[in-house]
Structure 1
Amino acid sequence: MDPAAAERQALIERWAERHGVDAACRLAEAEELADAVEKEITPDNTVDTYAKSWRVWQRFCADARLPELEATRGSLVAFVAWMLREGQQNGKGYAPSSASTHLAAAVVGLRERGAKVSGDDQGAARAALEGLAVKLLQAGERRGRGQAVGGDIDGLRAIARACPDTLTGDRDKALTLTGFHYASRSQDPAGLLTGDVTLHPRGLVVAVLTGKTKHSVRNAKIRYADDPAICPVRAWTAYRTRLAAEHGDRWADPSTPAFVGIDRWGHVTGGMGPDSVTRAIKRISTRAGVPIAWTGHSLRIGLASVGRTKGKDGIAIADQGGWARHSRSMLGYMQRDDGWDDNASAGLT
């Protein structure tokens, strides 16, 4: 019996002593229900991250010849050092941000399996990670891909011009132009249904599901653009009109996916997933000749950066993109071009 199961059994026995066997059985059933609910509401990408990080922990334990279910200050610090030194399967070290993710997820995995992990021991490992990351910077070593490039207006124009006159081209244009205007992440358009996007006399209203654990809906308003060539509202309308004309009115049903996958022969394959959105954005930007290919996060970064450049209020940007007002992550997305024109000291003297 694994430690988690043994701990649950011991808990049930204590309940039986205090409340009787029948009550203990009902409490155990309630615990099983709670476990099932937690599993059901945990996002798939979070589950994938936990599974991947647990495999990293297993590789470390095998390499260091340490027991998997014994987390001590020493083993966690050694785990961090190993990840930065050689933790990847190709023998290279992880970027500090990736190591941080794996550390946090491995601790979750340890606790799920009944292992005791103290906050002090985890804190020691995190302090070691931060200190070693500084050492890497001081040594001139840069790891990781860094922040994705942000979308911009020139890129949107190039993308709109490069989209072919096909259903796929219309979908690509609508996906990019609407996504830019509500600061989409790859999972956002993948989660949209047709009924989540409604026409308004002044544009579109997109009901975006937000939050990783506590979900809410924000209604992002997208106005008609002055330039019809890159107007997200016109692009959305053209895409949906063509989809219904070529594949039937059933795609106008509010319960159907807002953005559909389309194969090379023009067949609709169902709704797009987050990974297919990411691949599509990269393919679309590459086809348009954008200097640095965009990623699934480029549209989100782009709204923050371009909005700031255009003088939009920070609170308005936050509300449109679903950030907390004065969000640090939003401020980090507000990229500056070269630091000369957009310079706090320019023109002061």
Structure 2
Amino acid sequence: MKRRTLVGGIAAAAAAATAPGAAAPRRIGMSDVDRLRKRFVQIISSDHHHGGRLGIEQQAAVLADEALDLQDSGSATQRVRNSLYASAAAFRSSAMWAAIDGRRFDNAKTHMREAQALAEISGDSAIKFRIWSHAGTMYRHMGRPEDALAANDVARNLRLTRRDPLFACLGHARQAATLGLLGDTAAVQRALGCAQDAFERADPALARPVWMTAVRNGAELETLALAAHFRLGNFERAETHAHRSLALLRPQMRRDRAINTARLATAQLGQGDTELAIATAMKVPTDVAAQHARVAHMLRGFGTTLCATAPGSTAVQTWTEHAATWRTTA
């Protein structure tokens, strides 16, 4: 993967500007930024469809470097330069997210540090929110709830969340998912209540980043409520939120649908509905189960719980035979 440091990029830009006899630099404009934004939309689409593949992480990191290379290639207004830094931060945050989703946490932390630096230079509060919110999710998946809560608090305290309640909604909902790890039912309920209130106050007509798509229609709120109640062991509530999220998720969001289906199956198993749970788990597409680390991790957990719940049963045999079909393609 092509790597560069932010400091190195700035130094190169300064050297190019002062080199004796250098040709007049070309003008970098918002049309260059717009081209990068179109590539970012493509990265988001790939993420929704495929999830945390290494190829998406690498592509996003390369595009972040391309955005920084533009800083070195010509003259530009401060607005354009800030937009280029924001684009680089956005791509690096997508590399971070792909690494989190693929459970490559060391990679994710490396991407996070560079994304945070780029976001600070850009002054873009929306991308700052995304990075810190992703950091909270990363620590949650790593089993470090206190760090997750602290990262979420940084995102939730940005001024942006007061200007746009939809960002506040996402911040509260992600906090609820982390509080579920701590087993604090009352805190989860408060956080989800705040998220719902913010969602209802949000103006649906406001323009928002493409990565907020699932937040706009409530799918992400239902997904995070599912995660929170799932971790609390409130399987009946978790099942309700799972069905709501699956109804709201767009068809192309295959990764999210697979994750929520796996959680739904485990919630059904937790209520003693073994046959229904197996039927639900078998709805996860084989290619997603084989190629997505987080989905595979969840389904392995489902299998472990099933074996503990009904050892030696035909249900266990049915699931074991099915799981073998996607494990062999991984």
TM-score by length of 2: 0.23
Higher strand proportion: 1
Higher helix proportion: 2
Which structure: larger Rg?
A: 1
> Which is bigger in relative contact order (C-alpha 8 A, separation at least 6)?
1
